[in-house]
Amino acid sequence: MPDIFDVLPGMEVPVAAIATSLGQMWTDTAAAGSPAPAADTAKATQVNFVLHLGLHTTAEDAAAQFRTAGEFSKRYPSRVVVLCPLAEDQGVTEMRAKIYGECHLGKSKGDQRCVEFVMLSYPRCARRFLENQVSICLSADLPLYYWAHRFSANNKLADYTYLLTRAKRVLIDSAIAPADALSYPWPRPEALRDLAYARMLPIRQSIGQFLSRYPQDQLGAGLQAVAVAFAAPQAAEARCLLAWLRDRLSRCGPLAAAFSLAPLAAGAAGSLAVDFTYADGRKTFAWQGELARGTARFEANFGTGRTTLPAAASLLAPEEALSQAMFF
């Protein structure tokens, strides 16, 4: 299996020459007639972004996350540092580095978005030097965002204190993170953001907008149970949806409702489903979404007659989920 560092694009350079190599890279790019940042614009970089590819990351997965970071940078020009730990050192004692950059022209000549990538491959014996090297690679005076992707254990990630404490946001994906990652005592738990929750934004907005047409007292009065059901690939998204419903419904007043999460019944259609149960049996609310088709359906009766409504259902694209988790 190829090492994830080797499958990522870029030109290998000496670790000690990363800064000068980046400058030369843009000079060569401009000389070749390709889009490059002007010398006096400081590349218009907006954020520092560290993408940490854990030991469970495959070569194909690494390439996919690299593309996601690139798509994100089309909107938010970034200095991206990609960390590639070696699963087995096999005699390697030093770090390796690659650099890569690209610019995208917008609607006007002056609208130019550039991204710089620095890839660092490191063996375990060089781990103690990593934070120092990362700090050198980052752009000064810009906020840092840290995305930990497919890490194998919470305590191993917790060892990266510099990144966890300095980052404005620490991003994980509860769909692929260790089971207790969201409750682990991270150094700054207030900075932690879940990409699974972020990519659920369109569904949360759709359900919220539908329910907002009804008075809060009608939504909460007599509510006995809230159930979220899910197809296996959407287990993390279902957990996020249930937590969001619990938070929002608690704002309707004191609740005695039971909240439950369960797989969809065998043979049931759809990806996610929500069902409210009320004590009087007359009020109802149900939502069912089919992500593969991009469709959903509401069925409700809150005392003003039965309502059915088709709707869209989708998750945010990966690069959009990144920006949502980082900035909102």
In CATH, 201-312 is 3.40.30: yes
Compute, in degrees rounded to 10, the torsion defined by CA atoms 184, 187, 191, 195: -40
Q: Which two tokens stand for residue 228?
A: 């979220």
Q: Which two tokens stand for residue 258?
A: 């039971």
Answer whether 0.85 is exceeded by the pTM: yes
Query: Hey, how many other C-beta atoms are within 10 angstroms of the C-beta on 151?
Result: 22
Q: Model confidence over 52-82: pLDDT tens digits?
A: 999 999 999 999 999 999 999 999 999 999 9
Mean pLDDT of 228-245: 98
User: Which residues make beta-bridge pairs with 297?
Assistant: 288, 310
Give the gyration radius of the chain's Cα atoms: 23
Closest CA to 199 of 246, 154, 229, 233: 233
- Asked whether 192 and 170 are in contact (CB, 8 A), the reply is yes
Please list, in sequence order, all residues whose beta carbon lies within 8 angstroms of the beta carbon of residue 108, skipping any fewer than 6 positions away: none
């590639």: which residue's tokens? Answer: 84
Would you say residue 89 has pLDDT above 80? yes
Would you say residue 134 has pLDDT above 50? yes
Would you say residue 113 has pLDDT above 90? no
Amino acid at position 157, single letter: L
pLDDT given for residue 237 in this prediction: 98
Each domain of the chain, given as residue ranges in start order, spans 4-194, 201-312
- Asked whether 261 and 239 are in contact (CB, 8 A), the reply is yes
Q: Which two tokens stand for residue 209?
A: 């907008």
pLDDT given for residue 262 in this prediction: 98
Strands (E) across the chain are located at 11-13, 47-53, 78-85, 96-105, 112-122, 144-149, 169-172, 192-194, 223-230, 258-263, 272-278, 284-290, 295-301, 307-312
Name the least confident of 107-116, 123-132, 192-201, 262-271.
Answer: 107-116
Q: Model confidence over 21-53: pLDDT tens digits?
A: 999 999 998 888 887 887 545 456 899 999 999
Q: Report the chain's mean pLDDT, rounded to a whole number.
A: 93
Angle separating helix axes 18-31 and 130-137, nearest 10 degrees: 40
Q: In angstroms, rounded to a whole number, what is the distance separating the alpha carbons of residues 41 and 232?
A: 48
Q: Model confidence over 238-261: pLDDT tens digits?
A: 999 999 999 999 998 888 999 999
Query: Hey, how many other C-beta atoms are within 10 angstroms of the C-beta on 241?
Result: 25
Would you say residue 107 has pLDDT above 70? no
Q: In angstroms, rounded to a whole number, what is the distance separating the alpha carbons of residues 186 and 326?
A: 17
CA of 324: how far to CAs of 143, 162, 315, in Å? Answer: 16, 23, 12
In 3-state terms, what secondary structure has residue 134? helix
Q: Model confidence over 145-179: pLDDT tens digits?
A: 999 999 999 999 999 999 999 999 999 999 999 99
Would you say residue 304 has pLDDT above 90? no
% of the chain beyond a pLDDT of 90: 82
pLDDT given for residue 42 in this prediction: 43
